[in-house]
Amino acid sequence: MARGQTGHSTTRWSGPAVAHVITALALMAMLAAPVRAQDASAALTGNWQGTYTCAQGKTGLTLTIDRQEGSTFSGVFQFYPLRENITVPEGCFTVSGRIRSGGAFDIAGSAWIKRPAGYITVDLHGRVGQGGTNMSGTVETPGYGRLCSRFDLTRTTTKPSIDNACRIDAPAVSFAPQSPGISLAAAP
């Protein structure tokens, strides 16, 4: 080592070397950007069919997500009887939700469209599976304790058979008794 040198070497970057490093960094940034965007706005729009389990037993479920803007979405939760549980009435309510990172989502029950007596809306907390063709998670009943367990849904390309009363553009109908007698209420 020559007198006055500290033993540290310095590398001088030439023009082409700097350009290669900058290009590599730019490529890494571009490749990472779609992953973050996909997490925030994974496409949930469409029809999802399957089951969920609550106090009434295993129940058929069609979840239709018809509006999505970025990571927020809305739709209709329709439930109905299955062959193994024919006593479940049909009903439906609107839902709204948000997508979190990694394919996780939260869905909150909103307004009743068709409400059977004694039923409450439920919330879903889950995750979209690899490939975006299924979703599963837990069913919750805020304020009512643990009445439900889980749901499992598969994306379907067939148009679901939805009761006309459960269409999002149909007037809301309630079958829940509001007094000792049963009354029907409709809202425009």
Q: Please give the pLDDT value at position 23.
A: 46
**DSSP 3-state of 66:** strand
Q: Give the mean pLDDT of 39-52.
A: 79
pLDDT category, 2, cuts 50, 70, 90? low
Fold classification of 46-187 is Lipocalin (2.40.128)
pLDDT at 22 (0 to 100): 46
What is the C-alpha separation between 182 and 144, in angstroms, rounded?
23
Between residues 53 and 6, the one the model is more confident about = 53
Q: Which of 16-30, 98-112, 141-155 has the lowest mean pLDDT?
A: 16-30
Q: Answer with the residue of higher pLDDT: 66 or 106.
A: 106
Question: How high is the pLDDT of residue 156?
Answer: 93
Q: Which residue has the higher pLDDT, 84 or 38?
A: 84
Kindly tell me if the per-residue pLDDT of 180 is higher than 90.
Answer: no
pTM: 0.67
Is residue 176 within 8 A of residue 116, CB to CB? The reply is: yes
- Higher-confidence residue of 88 and 43: namely 88
Give me the pLDDT at residue 147, please: 93
Look at residues 135, 162, 138, 166 and name the one whose alpha carbon lies nearest to residue 48. Answer: 135
Is 2 or 99 the better-scoring residue by pLDDT?
Answer: 99
**184 compared with 59, residue with greater pLDDT:** 59
- Please tell me the predicted confidence (pLDDT) of residue 32: 41
pLDDT, residue 161, reads 67
Token pair, residue 164, equals 């006309």
pLDDT band, very low/low/confident/very high, at 159 (cuts 50, 70, 90):
confident
Any idea where the domains of the chain sit in the sequence?
A: 13-41, 46-187
Confidence of residue 170 (pLDDT cuts 50, 70, 90): very low
- Phi, psi at 145, each rounded to 5°: 80, -165
| Closest C-alpha among 151, 144, 54 to residue 107 | 151
CA dihedral 149, 43, 50, 163 (to 10 degrees): 110
